Amino acid sequence: MKCIFAAAMVLLATSAQATEVAKATPLVIDTIAPKMTSDNATWRVKVTAGYIVKPGVSANVEIMNFDIPSGECRSGVTKIVAMKGFDAKVTQKLCAGDVLGQSVILGWMVADKVDQEPMSNIDLVSLNYGERMYFRFDGSELTAEASIYRIEAKKL
């Protein structure tokens, strides 16, 4: 009887230990910037998101607005988002500069919060988890779109 009781206690102790959940550090989603050079200018970069809330109704949300010295990056809001089976740390980030004589604007766009949920699940994913952008162009101005995001950049 004592052996059965001891075996039951060992079984309970090991199953209790096995059910403890380890707190893991979230996966970091980051945009890796290429080696950029500076021309001592400053870029003004604005990012907005536009999406449909319901038929005939759309929402436009300002996501980021940074002045970025050429050759550098700026980070914004960081949030933890649930992925399948783990958490991810997502941070807004914008970089601006020159690569091989061309202007480059790149970053990771993610909404801080969503006041009005979009009608499309694809747009909701883009707002919550983020969207990478990378634009390489000639000139000192850019107006472009990446998914639901609109990017306006101008060298000051």
pLDDT at 37: 84
Q: Which phi and psi (to 5°) does residue 147 adopt?
A: 60, -125
pLDDT at 130: 87
Do 105 and 142 form a contact (C-beta atoms < 8 A)? yes
Largest Cα–Cα separation, the chain = 85
40 assigned to some structural domain: yes
Distance separating alpha carbons of residues 105 and 33, to the nearest angstrom: 10
Do 80 and 89 form a contact (C-beta atoms < 8 A)? yes
pLDDT at 133: 92
Do 39 and 152 form a contact (C-beta atoms < 8 A)? no
123 assigned to some structural domain: yes
pLDDT at 31: 60
140 assigned to some structural domain: yes
49 assigned to some structural domain: yes
pLDDT at 71: 93
Q: Which tokens is 102 given?
A: 């061309």
Cα dihedral 3, 4, 9, 10 in deg (nearest 10): 70
List, for the chain, all residue ranges whose pLDDT scores fall below the cut of 70.
1-34
pLDDT at 30: 58
101 assigned to some structural domain: yes
Domain encompassing residue 140: 23-155
Q: How many structural domains is the chain composed of?
A: 1
pLDDT at 29: 55
5 assigned to some structural domain: no
pLDDT at 70: 94
129 assigned to some structural domain: yes
pLDDT at 27: 55
pLDDT at 21: 41
Whole-model pTM: value is 0.73
72 assigned to some structural domain: yes
